[in-house]
Structure 1
């Protein structure tokens, strides 16, 4: 699949692995040259590029921050300045991920979302246009340099602990669990027929299978389970497209925008629920003062039960996925998702027919939806939502996320997303290692006065509704204010 205008297999800031790497470098070198950047790239015999330090332009933060528009995007990574404007449309994670960090230091987010850092660095070199001037700090002046350094030291520590190495056995057992549930459902139907009791039982099995496959595709979408990225890519396609019937490329585009700027209005797609809901403290007041009343937001916590919980996956996400595959002409994902429906028609069609099989598919998704919706929302909706404030990576993630207390059941029921803080700080870390780094993260948060929120499971789910109710009350007060 071509990269132009499309999202690839991950949401990284630059490409993860690509054929014809030399051709990509040549194209980017021409783009940089045409933009007037004074970059002299030397091709060595071993295929590496070196940029003499004396040839680099020197920039201040004031100059860099002027290049934050969609048509003019610069990033700073490890004190080096990159012009990513021409690369944005070809970025595997979509142009929005780059746009969200234009004019900013992207060192920590770049490191956080790239599991194969040595490969992606090759893509950066043709985009290099300069470096920070010697007197400039490594981050913008509003950021706490000590906090940034402490977090970067923490990352080095967990890397030295091999916390980013995936346990293949763990993920094999997780996939086996899913496939066993799928096979058991079919064998039960084949053995006992399609009575209503059997249908209830296989619906129960398939609902668990679908929820657990959602967690597994989330793992495969973030990290390199296998050493070879192509196998990881195939696993992700198999789980999200074939087992779930959702476009993997669409999910990556949306999900990584959420990761780089969680709970930031107009940047995090996971909190774009207008005009159905108003979220946080700022949006309700804004809507209220502007006398916006698409729906009675005072009651939004009630229709969240009736509308979002059961319909988010079978209606919104599925239709959005189909729409984006069609508009992007994403034939690869269309083929993969088609295999999901073909498999169900072959497996269940002889017992339920075409209409009955479709009804079974969407009944399962209807039951899965409250499960996945609560797990994904409980760690973000009750937390702080704000406009862009250009915070450091640690503060950005900790203020927008919370954890749920650990137990064997909670780990299984949430797919280890009860460790959302650790997951957001280290998206490419295998989930079986979150609990090992949690004490280190908690200690760092305490040192810098950041609240590390850890809740019981039921309280975390209940806080979704309490937060919606509070936001609705803020809207009401602002709307009826004289």
Structure 2
């Protein structure tokens, strides 16, 4: 039987003893060597794939390279995610530069837009009034949201479980559109830097494809590449919170940091392949509790966090990848039923 938290810890902070233990184990210390190797390898492989695109540009076989380009794009996005959380370097400036390179320049995705949105998600996960990831959009996440839909949106809501993965094929383009739209929110130097890098990405991407292949092939490659990238990235984020607890927006939130992050998150079991495919987001509970913890330390921190949750009487939700999708889709289906009434 795991030890229970002392009355003092419960009255104070359930999270503080865990923070002290994790810090004492050195799990919050930067892993610059690991990240340097990961960034270098990702850039090398990305360059190799795009060299292949140029060499095969005269053949329709070039479409086969859209898959590795999308997978490596996912690795790039995960590195940008880590930079946004200050996981890579001790300097905020260095992390900012890494985020701009991996997000704006290499992917055409604004790091400023993503960081603002993602930080609000981390502060209040699954809260319909505070978490932008569960706001009303292409999908809805509560029966109250579903009941308010009308017309085509209502039809989409009724069928949202079945449409979820097909609609992820549009996510790669949607990320670029949202990034460009967010420039209106930004101001001064931020808008200038982010806008210039977004334009450089779009111009470089289009130029490379049009120089390597004819316009029809270029359009087909770009469509397939963005569809696979959106599907991959969306599939990595999908298991994390869908179908988990959602704080009552009309009630007083009495959850502390530990409960707010643990009860709304789900981990995905697996080995190195799962770590690779999900970019460390499979340790979602652990990441939400310690967002600045370097990705390679999450696996080592997991046993400490699981034991602490058991001592606090909190469920540590963990399931396989397929089951995580099943639970998320079941939640979308149940919510969508409200639009059928």
Q: Same fold (TM over 0.5)?
A: yes
Q: How does 1:17-28 map to 2 (within 5 A)?
A: none
Aligned pair partner of 1:425 in 285, 289, 310: 289
Q: Given the superposition, is the C-alpha separation of residues 472 and 287 from structure 1 closer, same or farther in structure 2, using an over 3 Å criterion?
A: closer
| Contact 1:148/1:394 (8 A) holds in 2 | no
Q: CA RMSD in A?
A: 2.3
Q: Secondary structure at the match of 1:472?
A: helix
Residue matched to 1:333 = 194
Aligned pair partner of 1:321 in 161, 167, 179: 179
| Structure 2 unaligned blocks of 5 or more | 1-7
Q: For the residues of structure 1 that align with 2:178 and 2:98, how far apart are their CA atoms? A: 22
Q: How does 1:286-297 map to 2 (within 5 A)?
A: 287-288=146-147, 294-296=153-155, 297=157
Q: Given the superposition, is the C-alpha separation of residues 273 and 353 from structure 1 closer, same or farther in structure 2, using an over 3 Å criterion?
A: farther
Cα displacement string for residues 216-264 of structure 1 (whole angstroms, at most 9, x for unaligned residues)? 1000110242233322211111001111101111111100000000000
Q: For the residues of structure 1 that align with 2:93 and 2:216, how far apart are their CA atoms? A: 36
Q: Give how far 1:215 is off.
A: 0.7
Residue matched to 1:208 = 71
Q: For the residues of structure 2 that align with 1:351 and 1:173, how far apart are their CA atoms? A: 30
Structure 2 length as normaliser, TM-score?
0.88
Q: How does 1:44-443 map to 2 (within 5 A)?
A: 146=10, 148-197=12-61, 199-274=62-137, 276-279=138-141, 283-285=142-144, 287-288=146-147, 294-296=153-155, 297-307=157-167, 309-314=168-173, 316-329=174-187, 330-352=191-213, 357=218, 360-388=221-249, 389-443=253-307
Cα displacement string for residues 104-158 of structure 1 (whole angstroms, at most 9, x for unaligned residues)? xxxxxxxxxxxxxxxxxxxxxxxxxxxxxxxxxxxxxxxx961653411210111
Cα displacement string for residues 430-461 of structure 1 (whole angstroms, at most 9, x for unaligned residues)? 01111111111111211222110111111112
| Contact 2:146/2:336 (8 A) holds in 1 | no
Greater RCO structure (CA 8 Å; 6+ sep): 2
Q: Secondary structure at the match of 1:163?
A: coil
Q: Secondary structure at the match of 2:15?
A: helix
Residue matched to 1:68 = none
Q: Given the superposition, is the C-alpha separation of residues 153 and 338 from structure 1 closer, same or farther in structure 2, using an over 3 Å criterion?
A: same
| Contact 1:419/1:435 (8 A) holds in 2 | yes
In our comparison, the structure showing a higher alpha carbon Rg is 1
Q: Give how far 1:168 is off.
A: 1.8
Q: For the residues of structure 2 that align with 1:286 and 1:359, how far apart are their CA atoms? A: 36
Q: Given the superposition, is the C-alpha separation of residues 175 and 440 from structure 1 closer, same or farther in structure 2, using an over 3 Å criterion?
A: same
| Contact 1:186/1:348 (8 A) holds in 2 | no
Q: Give how far 1:278 is off.
A: 2.9
| Contact 1:148/1:392 (8 A) holds in 2 | no
| Contact 2:109/2:179 (8 A) holds in 1 | yes
Q: Given the superposition, is the C-alpha separation of residues 369 and 226 from structure 1 closer, same or farther in structure 2, using an over 3 Å criterion?
A: same
Q: Secondary structure at the match of 1:230?
A: helix
Q: For the residues of structure 2 that align with 1:258 and 1:384, how far apart are their CA atoms? A: 14
Q: Given the superposition, is the C-alpha separation of residues 384 and 190 from structure 1 closer, same or farther in structure 2, using an over 3 Å criterion?
A: same
| Contact 2:120/2:132 (8 A) holds in 1 | yes
Residue matched to 2:5 = none
Cα displacement string for residues 24-52 of structure 1 (whole angstroms, at most 9, x for unaligned residues)? xxxxxxxxxxxxxxxxxxxxxxxxxxxxx
Q: Secondary structure at the match of 2:159?
A: helix
| Contact 2:146/2:338 (8 A) holds in 1 | no
| Structure 1 unaligned blocks of 5 or more | 1-143
- Between Structure 1 and Structure 2, the one with more helix by share is 2
| Contact 2:146/2:154 (8 A) holds in 1 | no
Q: For the residues of structure 2 that align with 1:353 and 1:213, how far apart are their CA atoms? A: 27
Q: Given the superposition, is the C-alpha separation of residues 182 and 353 from structure 1 closer, same or farther in structure 2, using an over 3 Å criterion?
A: farther
Q: For the residues of structure 1 that align with 2:56 and 2:146, how far apart are their CA atoms? A: 55
- Between Structure 1 and Structure 2, the one with more strand by share is 1
| Contact 2:149/2:339 (8 A) holds in 1 | no
